[in-house]
Structure 1
Amino acid sequence: MNRLLAAVPILLLGACSAAVPPPRSTPPPVAAAPPPTVVRPVQNNSLIGQSADATQRMFGKPRLDVTEGAARKLQYEGSACVIDIYFYAPRAGADAVATHVDARTPDGRNAEPESCVAALRR
């Protein structure tokens, strides 16, 4: 009987060690990065496709130059209108180009971008 009592703690310890899962030998999978977004312009005016450097040569120093993530916005202001030009890279690794243009009068009404370009170039 003493032998049987001596074997009980060994059996209990063996049962406890079997309940612990073995450590993982491989790390958990890492989620892949999403594919880069391709930006396609939907507007058609003389600024679309231009670089920020080209617009600065055209209009001079911008009133605002804002970068947020992969986007950049240049804003130019004249007495007739305000124009915002948005730049994005058309594909991964490419230089950013103008993909969208907003134009408005100084009081906030919508303006036609080409008329604003002409007014700002004077």
Structure 2
Amino acid sequence: MKRLALALIPGLVLAGCAAGGTARPTRTAFVPIPTGTLGLEGVIGQNARGLVARLGTPVADLIEGNARKLQFASGTCVLDAYLYPKGSAEPVVTYLDARQGDGSPVDRASCVSALQMKARGGK
């Protein structure tokens, strides 16, 4: 029995050396996008007509059940405005999502500002 134990020790030592030392993959840091409403006061709570008057003609208008999504785009960003009714009232914007053309996140208020400038005839 002692011989068997002595014969196994070198193998166990080598197995322990081979198993260690694997590097863990690194993760990129998560960068949170602010979700406050500063700069969005004129958009949050708007109905579809008010939103179109402020941002121009949407590039997409989707309705699913009682929810509606209006999508606006400029050379700078894409803005998705989600409108939901409260009770029997007309649907209003309750949430906004913004991104750059390549899908990268962008500040929502900056995107709203760029869309408003475009709607007024700017670039």
Q: Shorter-chain-normalised TM-score: which range? A: 0.5 to 0.7
Is 1:93 the counterpart of 2:100? The answer is no
SS class of match (1:79): coil
Q: Give the RMSD, CA atoms, in angstroms.
A: 1.4
Aligned to 1:39: none
Shift of 1:120: 0.9
Is 1:71 the counterpart of 2:70? The answer is no
SS class of match (1:110): coil
Shift of 1:43: 5.6
Work out the percentage of aligned pairs sharing the same amino acid.
40
Shift of 1:59: 1.6
SS class of match (1:115): helix
CA deviations over 1:9-38 (Å, ceiling 9, x no partner)? xxxxxxxxxxxxxxxxxxxxxxxxxxxxxx
CA deviations over 1:55-75 (Å, ceiling 9, x no partner)? 100122100000000100000
1:61 to 30, 53, 57: 57
Q: How many aligned residue pairs are there? A: 80
Q: Structure 1 stretches (4+) deviating beyond 6 angstroms?
A: none
- In structure 1, list runs of 5 or more residues that go unmatched: 1-41
- The AA in structure 1 aligned to 2:60 is L
Asked which structure has the greater CA Rg, the reply is 1
Is 1:81 the counterpart of 2:77? The answer is yes
- The AA in structure 1 aligned to 2:111 is C
Query: Distance between the aligned counterparts of 1:65 and 1:102, measured in 2?
Result: 15
**Residues 43 and 100 in structure 1, CA contact (< 8 A), matched pair in contact too:** no
SS class of match (2:96): strand
TM-score (norm 1): 0.62
CA deviations over 1:73-100 (Å, ceiling 9, x no partner)? 000000000000000012x211110000
- In structure 2, list runs of 5 or more residues that go unmatched: 1-34, 118-123
- The AA in structure 1 aligned to 2:112 is V
- The AA in structure 2 aligned to 1:96 is P
Within a 5 Å distance, the mapping from 1:33-44 to structure 2 comes to 44=37
